[in-house]
Structure 1
């Protein structure tokens, strides 16, 4: 009985968090992030302002908390890679798997919500700053992991920056193509090949790239 009760409580908590988040996102997209107060979100979600902060530590968390884990995707891919698999191969494999799954974190979900949230972030300085800081932390975490394995912090920093840049460039291309009118399925059709090209450039260490004639 205790386990069942705990399960019910946890489900109710998840439902409450989901309702608060959906309410906040709807208001943000309708009126803009800065024009909506936490009190307004609480009233619309039929909870107290304190409840909102119990689930989401800040107003920015109402946008980022569900997606923030994805800033650590590259580090997670390296940490969990297979025996004999290089760091670049692991990040490439994870990225391709995410494109095949149409993961919103790589800009390929067919529903527009993830792209609407991305646009909200781009248009809101406070959210943009949070995104930049979170992305930088993801790259630092990847560099720290590689440095721990290899013993060379400088080269680990270079490698982490290149891997992060490749992922970001691919995601930006996905968003740009969809914004230009392609469907998520059309973009996904050659996403694996584009990932192979991007990470291939990293894998070669830019050798022979952009040699001036």
Structure 2
């Protein structure tokens, strides 16, 4: 199988050939790239497989996974295709690399967060957890997609209090939506615009480490 996306894979430096590892798939924001997000989770690289998925549509100097009709309004056909292709990519990578299929995480920022949360809803407990940074769930996903239960999926959802792209009320609405569906929700606000602060990053790293059951000090 040829994957639908170009990607970077970072394997632990001292891999045990008899062991399977937790994985973080990263999904970047609109106009960015896979290397931009790697920095957020690089401190986990000795303990996780990290796979950065590059959007397959060029946009300026970067990439995107789908195009928009307007802000917050994806072109439906392109969005649907991205969700299907990303599901296929996750299966492809799980077969190709020594990945523990019970510990598959998605981490996305902005457009990547939108897709990560959508994939949680379409894949259910095939995923262990989601980190969604400054995103939302499109209304058509909530009302028209065939959704799976996420009661056993862990969520770390965060939003910037001063986000000028997706206002903070969207973060509150997203948290409220998932609070009704899973007891495994962590929600934080940070005094930032549409970005990820150092405090936010540290909270994400600690959350992933704890959720995956790692007790080794990663510092």
TM-score computed with the length of structure 1 as normaliser: 0.33
Structure with the bigger RCO (C-alpha within 8 Å, sep 6+) is: 1
Structure number with higher helix proportion: 1
For the pair shown, the structure with the greater C-alpha radius of gyration is 1
